[in-house]
Amino acid sequence: MRNNDEGKPFFIPSEKLRLHLLDKNIKKAHLSLSDEKFNAVAFVVLELG
């Protein structure tokens, strides 16, 4: 997990994951994170190309 200069979260997939995503024709991944004092949730939406 990383954040860009504006604070937007992003991730850099491992080589194994990158190859798997390419094999499945997935072109983009969108990451959403939210947290509160005792809870956190993450969503990833994958776009087919």
What pTM was estimated for this model as a whole? 0.65
pLDDT digit string, tens, across residues 27-37: 999 989 898 99
Question: Which two structure tokens, joined as six digits, stand for 34?
Answer: 């939210």
Contacts of 35 (CB under 8 A, 6+ apart): 41
4-22 burial: b if 16+ Cβ within 10 Å, else e: eeeeeeeeeeeeeeeeebe
pLDDT digit string, tens, across residues 3-23: 889 988 888 889 999 999 999
